[in-house]
Amino acid sequence: MEQFIREVSERIQPVHLEAGRAAQLHLDQLTKPPGSLGMLENLAVQLACITGEVKSVIHRKTVIVMAADHGVCAEGVSAFPQEVTQQMLLNMLSGGAAINVLSRQAGADVLCVDIGVKGNMDHPELLNHKIRQGTGNMAREQAMTREQAVQAIVTGMNIAIEAADRGSQLFVTGEMGIGNTTASSAMLCALTGLSPEEVTGRGTGLTDSELKHKAAVIREALALHQPDGQDTIDVLIKVGGLEIAGLVGVILGAASQGCPVVLDGFISAVAAVAAYTMAPQVKGYLIGSHMSAEKGHRLALAKLGIRPLLQLDMRLGEGTGGVMVLHMIDAVSHLMNEMATFSSARVSDSSGNISL
C-alpha cells in the first residue's frame, strides 16, 4: 500500500501557470480598476491554475467528513466526552448538523466516513472504512501501527479518486473526532518544530487550567515517542489520528485528479501540512478557506504559505468554514464568465482608451 501512496503522489502535476496568467489578463480587461476585486481575483487565478481553464466552472462539489476517535481523550484533554463523535456522526448522516445545512445551501454533497470511530454504526449513507476502534492513547502508547496509518491514507485517496471519477470537481476537507485538536497540535509540533504552548488551543472550549494540561500532555507524548518530522507516516503513527491520516489521503488523491481542495480549519490545515511534507507539489491545489479561532491554524497555514479568504472566528470543524468559500468560488466563476470587458462594453480604460 505504501507503493500506492507513492504512485498517487507522483501523479500530482504542477499547476497550469500559463492559465493563471491568462486569467489575470482577463481580469485586467474587465470593467473595473485592476485588482479592485481583491482576493476574489487571487481566487480566480488560482482556480485557473488548478483547472487549466481561464473561465473555470465548478459544477460538482463534495465535502468529505472523516470521523474517528482518539485514545488521548482518557487524559482529559477535551471538554466533551468521547461518545459525542459517534452521536455527531449520526447527526450528520441524518442531515441535521451544521455541515449538512451549509452544504445544502452551497450545493455540495456530503460524504461521511467512519475511519476509526469507537463503537459500531449501521447507516445506509455511512461509508464504513473503520480501521480500528479509535487510536491508542498517545500519552501512553503509539496512536496506531504503520499498517493502520498507511491504510488510512490509502482509504482517503481512494474515496477522493472514486468521487472524482463520479464527477466531483472540487473537494472540501471535513472531520469529526473528539480529541482531534490534541492530535493535530502534536502533529504540527512534530512537523514544524513549534512548541505545544505555541500551537495548542482550546478545542471544544477548555479553561485556562485545562489548556495548560492539554499542552503538557502533548509535550509528554512528543518526548515519549520522538516522531520524525520529516516522515509524515511516522508522525501519524506516534501522535496522529485516523481521520487526519484519511484527510492526508483525500488531499493527495484529489490533487492527483487535478481537483482543487478547499481546506477547512485547524485539523484540515495540519493534514495539509502532512500531505505537503509527503508531496510538496500538492500546495498549488490547496485553497485556504478561513482563519479559525484555534490558534495553531494560523501557524499551519503559515507553514504552507496560504492566506485564507475569510475571518469568521469559526472553530467547529466538520468542513463548515470550507463550505462558506464555495459561495465565493461560484461568484468568481460568474464574474469571469459574465462580466463585460472594457471593449465589449465600450467603456474607457484608465488611459481613456476604448479597445475595439
Task: List the catalytic residues.
Answer: 318
Within a 13 Å sphere around the CA of 154, how many CA atoms are in the beta-carbon half? 15
Q: In the structure grid, which three cell numbers stand for residue 106, read together?
A: 452551497
The DSSP secondary structure of 93-116, one letter per residue, reads HTT-SHHHHHHHHHTEEEEEEEEE
In 3D, which of 62, 23, 74 has the Cα closest to residue 337?
23
Distance linking the first and last C-alpha atoms of the chain: 58
3-class DSSP assignment, residue 127: strand
Alpha carbon 130 to chain centroid, angstroms: 20
Alpha carbon 85 to chain centroid, angstroms: 19
- 30-37: which pairs have CB atoms within 8 A and are 24 or more residues apart? 30/335, 30/339, 30/340, 30/341, 30/342, 31/339, 31/340, 31/341, 31/342, 31/345, 31/347, 32/339, 33/350, 34/350, 37/335
In 3D, which of 150, 186, 175, 149 has the Cα closest to residue 75?
186
